[in-house]
Structure 1
């Protein structure tokens, strides 16, 4: 199997995050030309520098006007990757409707709008998460939005065929998301490693490798790739 993306034009949404940045770097090394989009221009510019320069654009997946503008500026692309997410955690009785809406904008409504507006030759790749298959107290919205995305890729793969549509569902990954834990981070990740069948926590390289597989394997569509070390069973 070849992971060669030479000549491909790829739009990466969420291009300033740790996982999206690792995917962008891996895709660049595989020969792709990149368009980076998201809400934080500073972080997009940082990623662009890592890949030797890339087009950047701002987009909010909860605002259809910006999605349409992104589609117009990006033009036709071979692949679209969206790592977008928005947290709405906490007990159900304490959740605000705005936070719930933002979570579904990122994982469900936004991907639908991207499919509506963008011209794509090859595939879409969206990001779900292990909590969609292993819910926990205080994670009702996250579990539901991630689970809904799993069904969405199945439906879109039929609707958009022969354009392929897939998702990756990462487990716990050392992507920078946990850095705010400070000194507790190492113990947390060690605990994750001890609890999952793979006996390790994930890295951004693990996810980037899976992403390149999803982009280049032309017989994979309507599929959620669980890159979680078996965490959905742990």
Structure 2
């Protein structure tokens, strides 16, 4: 039997390289946001660019307990190669904010299973899982709203967002803002809900950035869009 020649780096070689890129100061900064990886994201993206798409290596990296390895796995995987149940399991394993956000944005949104998972996750009792469902819903509100019950979404947001855990609250607020920005017929109600619930009203915002407080966010994005149209 002919000997099989291995091509490309092994998971051990890649994780060793990640360990070499780890920086205690980066870990300290990330810890303030609930993350635990110690590799600068620019260096992580550079490594991913060098590795290119490697689905098998990505799966192996994902199975490690290291967040940097999981982030790298997301960057070098083939999103459409994952099954529905596989993505569901991966989301439940993605317990740090950055891994969770990158998985949803870079993998799940590109998957043919995105809509099925959106529906299932939005109704999930785990608020972290549910937040992924609301993130996908906000995406649909903005890009593919046909078939969505926007009034029903606003009803749910009005009833649940105020007391929702932080990550779920953030995702629901994003959805609220997208409804107000993208759908003029629901804009007044979206702004009214935001004003009454006052979610993220006092969130610290850097100069030049738009506040995540939904009434401010909606008003500013609509203004920019209208100014661009008139220009």
**TM-score, length basis structure 1:** 0.33
CA radius of gyration, larger in: 2
**TM-score, length basis structure 2:** 0.33
Q: Which has the higher strand share?
A: 1
Q: Which has the higher helix share?
A: 2
- Greater RCO structure (CA 8 Å; 6+ sep): 1
